[in-house]
A = this chain, B = another copy of it.
Amino acid sequence: MTDDPVQSLKPGSLLAAMRRRNPLVQNITNFVAMNIAANVMLAAGASPAMVHSPEEAGEFAAIASALTINIGTISPDFFEGMKTAAKAAGEAGKPWVLDPVAHFATSYRRSAVAELLALKPTVIRGNASEIIALAGEHASGQGVDAGDSVASAEAAAKALALRHGCVVAVTGERDFVTDGQRSVQVLGGSKLMPKVTALGCSLTCIVGAFVATAPDSPFEATVAALALFAAAGELAGREAQAPGSFAVRFLDLLAEVTPDAVDAVARVVPV
């Protein structure tokens, strides 16, 4: 570590800090993502807990260091758990991350996301279509896949960040992170990443691990989380040719990649 606060918030340094702290992160995520997201968290060095039932989600949010909420397979019971946990996190001053999966697809999702947004997430992570639609513009996603480019979502991301006072991350062929004032691109990854289900959902959980580590610097924490994925994804993509092998090597590399390798492989470019 260094005395320079900017230097100490470089992705590699934050990764080292996250691994030292091994933060307990509560994830209310979807049924497709639960296993891979927990494996991604463990490999990267965090401590995941999937706790969503309304009977205990709020009590647990006060114990965990951060919370992530993903609406991928939302139902009324899970929605109650999400709201209870987000409120408890807010009252306890814990950061939380919102993943508005395909929120534009049905009226049920749209209204659920509107309620969750009102509970003031610290970070929103989505694909381009999700972020564009969340900003109130016209998106062209179908189902859970993005139909828009990240570049076309940058203005929407900034508007959303300013409106809700949060960090917004748009992930895709290259990533974009903004807090409304500062913006960066994060470059790296592999074209095989969208061929493995729920890696975006898993990244949302990793953002939770980094904001748990640096709760006062959610912008830098989000950039570091995306840089970890970009580096591990790029290194895995150099070795694997197809999605099954890629997923295995990606998990390996989340554990094996060093802080220095993250800083060397992932490119963080101010824009």
Contacts and interface: CB of A to CB of B under 8 A. Distances in A.
Interface in A242-265: 242-245, 247-253, 255-256
A102 B63 CA distance: 13
B31 A197 contact: no
Number of identical protomers: 3
A5 to B, nearest CB: 28
Interface residues of A, number: 60
Contact of A106 (B32, B38, B48, B56): B56
Contact of A63 (B34, B105, B194, B195): B105
A143 B35 contact: no
Interface stretch (A73-81, A92-100, A181-189): A73-81
Contacts of A242: 43, 251-253, 255-256
Interface of A: 24, 30-36, 38-39, 42-43, 47-53, 55-56, 59-60, 63-64, 72-77, 102, 105-109, 142-145, 194-198, 241-245, 247-253, 255-256
Contact of A50 (B31, B42, B51): B31
A49 B105 CA distance: 11
Contacts of A33: 35
Nearest to A192: B255
13 contacts: A31-B31, A31-B34, A32-B34, A33-B35, A51-B73, A63-B143, A75-B77, A242-B252, A242-B255, A243-B251, A243-B252, A245-B248, A247-B248
B107 A59 contact: yes
A232 to B, nearest CB: 10
A73 B75 CA distance: 15
Contacts of A38: 32, 197-198
